Amino acid sequence: MTDMIRANGLVKHYGEVKALDGLDLAVPEGTVLGLLGPNGAGKTTAVRILATLLEPDAGSAEVAGIDVVADPDGVRKQIGLSGQYAAVDEHLTGFENLDMIGRLYRLGRKASRLRARELLERFDLSEAGDRPVKTYSGGMQRRLDLAGALVAEPVVLFLDEPTTGLDPRSRTESWKVIRELVKEGTTLLLTTQYLEEADHLADDIVVIDLGNAIARGTSDQLKTQVGGERVELVVESTSDLARTEAVLAEFAVGDIQVETHSRHVSAPVSGGADALIRTLRRLDENAIKVLDVGLRRPTLDDVFLELTGHAAEADTDGADKEREMISQ
């Protein structure tokens, strides 16, 4: 498989702040790469460089085999970009927005109109198509923005935090649309600070922090890297806690945690579901009543905490600085 996106050693400074510090990326054709990191990690800077909005200070990048610095216009013909803020004109109708983008891609008058109607239909905006965008809900605006990125049927698509600020229902809708796109073979680079989103949409995940990749792999690989499934259970009676701990000790591969007041017991195990079943069987034999039980695999939150030493949602000073610098 050829790489549709390839970045080598991208460096970008904003004054003193290093937004990118030698980032390498490779996205094979038809796959989805999730660029995951907190605010200020350098995700947006990476997308802006790949989408030709920004030139790197050092390093190189190719999109669809075209160098982003040497031939930015060539790249622009191959890509679609949908940004963090809905870049649609609120005074135009949905149709006018898409038609305008088509004209600027030089599709021609007729083809632009046709394409605009087609996309409105596809993104479930037909009825609202002739209303000014400012009457749209947040989710509708975001869908229109996404449609705008697809006008010229790009082979490579960049989505910069496509669901930031959306309510859960709109987010789920957006995910559905994005998954459909990917099925058709579009190569997608997606940035997100929602671990759940990367887990849902991306084939591969690159975790970035302070301008550099700190981990790569599939969602499962990253979770394995952090290690540790845990059996977690809540027992009915406090008096059962000691016996429960004894049972868990048979399977535990590490320290067992017991929280007396919540009657919550958890232990790291290996063997996944099998370990859970055997644990339950032994608890049953001991007539211990269990209220709640589960096998908890590490979330990407855990991954992030493990890799960076700080939580994913944390808004670091560096983050604020990066945004400040961008705005100058």
Partner 1 sequence: MTEVLDVFADGAVVTKRNLIKIIRVPEVLVWVLISPIMFVLLFGYVFGSAIDAGGVSYREFLMGGIFVQTVVFGATFTGAGMAEDMQKGIIDRFRSLPMSRSAVLFGRTASDIVYNVLSIVIMAGTGLLIGWRVRTSILEALAGFALLLLFSYAFSWVMGYIGLLVPSPEVVNNASFMVIMPLTFVANTFVPLESLPGVLRTFAEWNPVSAVAQAVRELFGNLPADYVAPDVWSLQNPVLYTLIWVAIILAIFVPLAVRQYKRAASR
243 in contact with partner 1 (CB under 8 A): no
User: Among 3, 9, 103, 214, which residue sits at the site for partner 1 (rule: CB under 8 A)?
Assistant: 103
Q: Cα–Cα distances in Å, from 258 out to 82, 150, 265?
A: 47, 52, 5
Widest pairwise Cα distance in the chain: 77
Nearer to partner 1, 84 or 224 (CB): 84
Q: How far is the CB of 21 from partner 1 (least distance, A)?
A: 19
Strands 3-14 and 32-36, how do they pair?
A: unpaired
Nearer to partner 1, 44 or 219 (CB): 44
Give me the DSSP letters along 121-176: HHTT-TTTTTSBGGGS-HHHHHHHHHHHHTTT--SEEEEESTTTT--HHHHHHHHH
Taking the C-alpha atoms of residue 133 and residue 91, their distance in angstroms, rounded to an integer, is 6
Name the segment binding partner 1 (CB under 8 A); options: 60-68, 103-111, 204-212, 256-264.
103-111
Q: How far is the CB of 259 from partner 1 (least distance, A)?
A: 46
> For the window 38-77, what string marks contact with partner 1 as x by the rule CB under 8 A?
----------x--xxxx------------------x--xx
Instruction: Tell me the CA end-to-end span of the chain in Å, nearest whole number.
Output: 40
Amino acid letter, 107? L
113 in contact with partner 1 (CB under 8 A): no
User: Among 106, 179, 289, 296, which residue sits at the site for partner 1 (rule: CB under 8 A)?
Assistant: 106
Name the segment binding partner 1 (CB under 8 A); options: 81-89, 166-174, 209-217, 305-313.
81-89
85 in contact with partner 1 (CB under 8 A): yes
**Sign of the dihedral defined by the CA atoms of residues 207, 213, 217, 220, in that order:** negative
Nearer to partner 1, 14 or 251 (CB): 14
142 in contact with partner 1 (CB under 8 A): no
Give me the DSSP letters along 178-201: HHHHHHTT-EEEEEES-HHHHHHH
DSSP 8-state assignment for residue 53: S
Q: How far is the CB of 89 from partner 1 (least distance, A)?
A: 6
Q: Total residues contacting partner 1 (rule CB under 8 A)?
A: 33
100 in contact with partner 1 (CB under 8 A): yes
To which H or E segment does residue 284 belong?
A: helix 273-285
List residues binding partner 1 (CB under 8 A): 48, 51-54, 73, 76-77, 79-81, 83-92, 96, 100-101, 103-106, 132, 148, 326-328
